[in-house]
Chain A
Amino acid sequence: MKVESVDIVIVGAGAGGGASAWALTKEGARVVVLDAGAEYIPEKDYKLGENNWEKNLFPDKDPDKHSYTFGEMQNLENKNDGLRSWSHLHGQYNPANKRLGWRYRHVKGVGGSTLSFAGEAHRLHPDSMKMFSRFSVAADWPVTYKELEPYYQEVEKIIGVSGPVNPGVRWRSEAYPLPEHKSSLASKKIKQACESLQLNWDKNPVSILPKAYDGRPGCNYCNNCARGCPRRDKGSVDVTFIVHARRTSLCDIRSNCKVLKLNKNKLNKINSVEYIDADGKKNIINAKVVILSAGAVETPRLMLLSEIGNESGLIGKNFMETISWNSSALYPEQLNSYKGIPSDGICWNYNAPDAIPDVIGGARFTLAVAASDYLGPINYAKRVVSGWGKSHHKNMTEQFGKVLSISAIGECLPNKNSFIELDPVKKDQNGLPVARINSFITDMTIKRLKFMASRCRDILKSAGVTQIIEEYGSYDIFNAAHVFGTCRMGENKNDSVVNSYCQHHHLNNFFIVDASVFPSSGGGESPSLTIEALAIRTARYIKKQLDNNIL
């Protein structure tokens, strides 16, 4: 067994870990980053130039990628049948009377889930950070929008964010580093529809380059961000933070290294990390500081496995998931809707936590043709066009490129039945219990989902679609990429796990930097920008503490 000692170990090279590595190495600290997944080489691994490109989604290299289970799911009620997922060709996607645990979309690898994200770079709505004070739900953030703003700005410059001139309620100290993208034809149709409903359709802030920036080329609008960007114009962590961190020569990234355990010493510090390396050998690495950034499912799992840091009893609790709805329809005219960027427009009208009538927690609406994967002929042939033979050919000619989709993502509020625990039966490749995801949709969430579905349908109808062909959402199927809350941050050590600097309340050299620290989920904003801003803020704090010999 190899044993070594370093200053800082980071577990996970996604949004939190990658941004931490960059911020620490920039300040002269030396870090080792362990990631359970592989390195991805965009030009080689993302095969969007091959004829069968459409048959493969993100080329996940993790052989253990489904290493989680679901707890018992809730029963579905007839009164909510309008929220069932369905397709005009295939009927109900979940015909059972029980909610279906389908998937937690999480990429293990250097870059984490940003490797397959759609590039959305959202700041949180300032009002959504005070959910407990305002509505007695979730918890307040111990850090304000004003405190995060300079870090948001810094992240946006590193990853290259293109955004609108008018930032709305998300005030800015500087303009976006890159100009906004032009709208696709599909987005223009949604904009017209929104305007007729007295809704705004703004440019969506995205870390997709409208022109060359920081040694990376501008986007060529292939719309396939989720399959991985072979050009490196999408600001995933591997081509931004990690590249810059490596240039310092202070960042040692070790892929395919699966952490087994974090060890605590008698001084209430995490003094070492045990992991299995790419060759299958066990290693121990001693560190002054440990940063855990494995996401809101794997982070609590590792802490529970290690039996550390659960003084509050909150590890794994307050789990929040992606609450989403998606409607797709056929538009009567050619849109070539498979072209563009995944979501160039966004409606923020209902994003504030009190914006939806009689509902606590907001939602946002975006173009979703790419999210629905209506990007090529195979999906049209199998999901849009019915029949076979000559009539199928004829209808393919008429309908290809005409799908218009819109999605809504909304606030998820914590509840006692949604939590992460260790599975009592299933083990991973190393014989350790996997995470078990327990998810429950509350009545308030169902009300929010009904509003989201209704508005999606309104917008499509107002756009002039001829027929809705597919809808799916969180009511009957768990399908989440953005998950939050399982190691909540707060000032009070009795009702939170880490403080406002993501520092564990009881283990002062231990930091958690991922969405598991989110006290509330926001009104549908994509979380990576906030994770990265928190990571930089935390890294500066750590460096200062190390320099002052406090850690």
Chain B
Amino acid sequence: MKFSRRNFIGFTAIFAGVGGWFFSLVDNKSNESIKSEYILILTSYLDTLIPEYGEFISASKAGVVTELLDKANSDKEYSHMLNNGCDWLESVSQKNYKKTFVSLNEEQRITIITQAENAWRNKPSINNLPGYFFNVARRDGYSFYYQNPMTWKALNYNGPPQPYGFPDYES
């Protein structure tokens, strides 16, 4: 079994899924990018997961959408997963509210995302599209979000670690 090379938390990959192999089985040869109509859905989804709140800026303002799209451009399996995830969001939205996902109000979007979160909780598997999509978006979303220094202000975090370090470490 091969494991993440990056970090101890790569253990989460064992069940939280960075594998992506399932999606490679689905479509490993196409040169797929995110469908243009899904970019707004992805933006709305990420801004609901990571919204503007107090001093926190939204995911899209922190550049998370751009980062995810960049990653999708260089990783067709990832791109395929995002497309399928957006497709799922849109289909549930149409089914439940007869509206496109981007036109839903916040409460409605939260309801759908909670459905995906619960799907992951009940079956943490890469074969579980809504759950896997939720888990990857959350994991990668926060990773990209908190690499933007604009997000650090809300935490009173004076990083990065260098060149200044933390000479005030005693307090």
Contact A49-B160, Cβ < 8 Å, known A219-B165, A222-B166: yes
Taking CB atoms, residues of chain A closer than 8 Å to B7 are 57, 373
Main secondary structure of the interface of B (DSSP, over half): loop
CB–CB A336/B146 < 8 A? no
What residues on B are CB-neighbors of A65 within 8 Å? Answer: 5
**How far apart sit A231 and B170, CA to CA, in the bound complex (Å)?**
20
- Taking CB atoms, residues of chain A closer than 8 Å to B146 are 54, 376-378, 381
On whether A224 and B161 interact (CB within 8 A), knowing A93-B14, A390-B51, the answer reads yes
Chain A CB within 8 A of B168 CB: yes
Is A220 an interface residue, CB under 8 A from the partner?
yes
Cα A393 to Cα B146 in complex, Å, equals 11
As a 0/1 sequence over residues 127 to 146 of chain B, the CB contacts with chain A under 8 angstroms (1 = contact) are 00000000000110011011
CB-CB under 8 A from B5, the residues of chain A are: 65-66
Which of chain A's residues has its CB closest to B67's CB? A52
Which among A179-187, A245-253, A410-418, A422-430 touches the partner chain? A179-187
A168 within 8 Å of B by Cβ? no
Residues of B within 8 A of A266 (CB): none
* B3 / chain A contacts, CB cutoff of 8 Å: 102-103
A220 touches B164 (CB 8 A): yes
Collect the chain B residues with CB atoms within 8 Å of residue A223's CB: 161, 166, 169
B117 within 8 A of A: yes
Contacts of B110 in A (CB 8 A): 389
Closest chain B residue to A46, Cβ basis: B162
Measured between beta carbons, the chain B residues less than 8 angstroms from A87 are 12
Say if the beta carbon of A281 comes within 8 Å of chain B: no
Cα–Cα distance between A394 and B56 once the two chains are bound (Å) = 9
Q: Are A55 and B170 in contact (CB under 8 A)?
A: no
Choice from A51, A383, A477 contacting B149 with Cβ under 8 Å: A51
Is A479 in the interface zone, CB < 8 Å from B?
yes
Give the docked Cα–Cα distance between A50 and B7 (Å).
Answer: 18
B residues near A472, Cβ cutoff 8 Å? 8
Smallest beta-carbon distance A67→chain B, Å? 13
Bitwise, B36-66 to A at CB < 8 A (1) or not (0) is 0000000000001111011010000000000
Give the Cβ gap from A210 to chain B, nearest Cβ, in Å: 12
Given that A376-B146, A472-B8 are contacting pairs, would A222 and B15 also be in contact in the complex, using a CB cutoff of 8 Å? no
Q: Is B162 in contact with A222, judged by CB distance below 8 angstroms? A: yes
Interface pick from B26-34, B75-83, B151-159: B151-159
What's the least CB distance linking B21 to chain A, in Å?
18
Query: Is B96 part of the contact surface with A, judged by Cβ < 8 Å?
Result: no
A52, B170: Cβ atoms closer than 8 Å? no
**B interface residues, how many (CB within 8 angstroms):** 50
* 141-190 of chain A: CB within 8 A of chain B: 182-185
By beta carbon, the residue of chain A nearest B8 is: A373
A388 and B138: CB pair below 8 A?
A: yes
List B contacts of A102 (CB < 8 A). 3, 11
CB of B117, distance to nearest CB on chain A (Å)? 7
Q: B155 and A377: CB pair below 8 A?
A: yes
**B48 nearest in chain A by CB position:** A389
CB distance from B163 to the nearest CB of A (A): 5
Cβ of A339 under 8 Å from chain B: yes
Q: A55-B147, A400-B157 are in contact. Are A339 and B162 (CB under 8 A)?
A: no
Contact B162 A184 (CB under 8 A): no
- In the bound complex, how far is the Cα of B165 from the Cα of A184, in angstroms? 14
Write the chain B residue with the least CB distance to A50.
Answer: B160
Cβ contacts A213-234/B at 8 Å (1 or 0 each): 0000001111110000011000
Known contacts A219-B165, A222-B161, A388-B117, A393 near B8 by CB under 8 Å? no
Interface residues of A in 70-96 (CB under 8 A from B): 85, 87, 90-91, 93-95
**Partner of A383 from B9, B167, B170 at Cβ < 8 Å:** B9
Judge whether A340 and B166 touch: CB under 8 Å.
yes
State whether B142 touches A221 (Cβ < 8 A): no
Looking at the complex, which one of B15, B162, B166, B167 makes contact with A90 (CB distance below 8 Å)? B15
Nearest residue in A to B160 (C-beta to C-beta)? A53
Q: Is B6 an interface position by the 8 A CB rule?
A: yes
CB distance from B5 to the nearest CB of A (A): 7
Q: Is A480 in contact with chain B by the CB < 8 A criterion?
A: no
Task: Tell me which residues across on chain A come within 8 A of B169, comparing CB atoms.
Answer: 184-185, 221, 223, 336, 339-340
Q: Does B148 contact A (CB under 8 A)?
A: yes
Q: Do B155 and A221 touch across chains, with their CB atoms under 8 A apart?
A: no
Interface status of A276 (Cβ within 8 A of chain B): no
Residue B18 lies at the interface, judged by CB distance under 8 Å to chain A: no
The answer to whether B170 touches A93, judged by C-beta atoms less than 8 angstroms apart, is: no
From A230, A339, A381, contact of B166 by CB (8 A): A339
CB neighbours (8 Å) of A100 from chain B are: 1
A303, CB-defined interface residue at 8 Å: no
| Chain A residues within an 8 Å CB radius of B138 | 388
Contact B161–A388 (Cβ < 8 Å): no
Residue contact A397 to B113, C-beta cutoff 8 Å: no
Q: With an 8 A cutoff between CB atoms, is B16 at the interface? A: yes
- Interface contact B161-A393, CB-CB below 8 Å: no
Those 3 A-B pairs whose CB atoms lie nearest each other, nearest first:
A220-B165, A222-B161, A339-B166
Q: Give 28 A-B contacts (CB < 8 Å), ordered by A residue.
A: A48-B160, A50-B160, A53-B162, A54-B146, A55-B147, A57-B6, A85-B11, A90-B16, A91-B15, A93-B12, A95-B14, A100-B1, A102-B3, A102-B11, A219-B165, A220-B163, A221-B165, A222-B162, A336-B169, A339-B168, A372-B8, A377-B157, A378-B143, A379-B9, A382-B9, A389-B51, A393-B54, A396-B154
Given contacts A93-B14, A381-B145, 9 further A-B contacts (CB under 8 A): A54-B147, A90-B11, A90-B15, A184-B169, A221-B166, A224-B162, A339-B169, A377-B157, A394-B53
